[in-house]
Amino acid sequence: MTRVEFFDQDGRITGFCCEGHSGYAEAGSDIVCAAVTTAIRMAECTINDVCGCRAKTRVNDKEARITLTLPASCDEEETVQAVLTGLMLTLCELRDEYPDYIEVMEVQ
């Protein structure tokens, strides 16, 4: 199962951690993993490359984990929060469609 945790501090999403393979299908054919990966990549690219936020991103291929942590402040804070909220909603939609393969949580 893929597990995604969004970190919330006083109403501000400060980052997320996504880990694990969904197990929906074999590697290379898993549409759930592909959808999650695409959404995560789009959010990370938008936050760092488009908004210039310089969020810390760590990838561990061996453990199938990616973690993104925002800095304490960002010039494009409103846009970055919109991107992260959109990511959370997208992943919640996937969870609703594939509840046995993805879990989405918000951690305070």
- Cα separation, 30 vs 27, in Å, equals 6
Longest dimension (CA), the chain: 41
pLDDT at 42: 97
pLDDT at 27: 84
Q: What is the pLDDT of residues 37-90, one digit of tens each?
A: 999 999 999 999 999 999 999 999 888 999 999 999 899 999 999 999 999 999
Q: Is the pTM of this model over 0.85?
A: yes
**Hey, how many other C-beta atoms are within 10 angstroms of the C-beta on 31?**
13
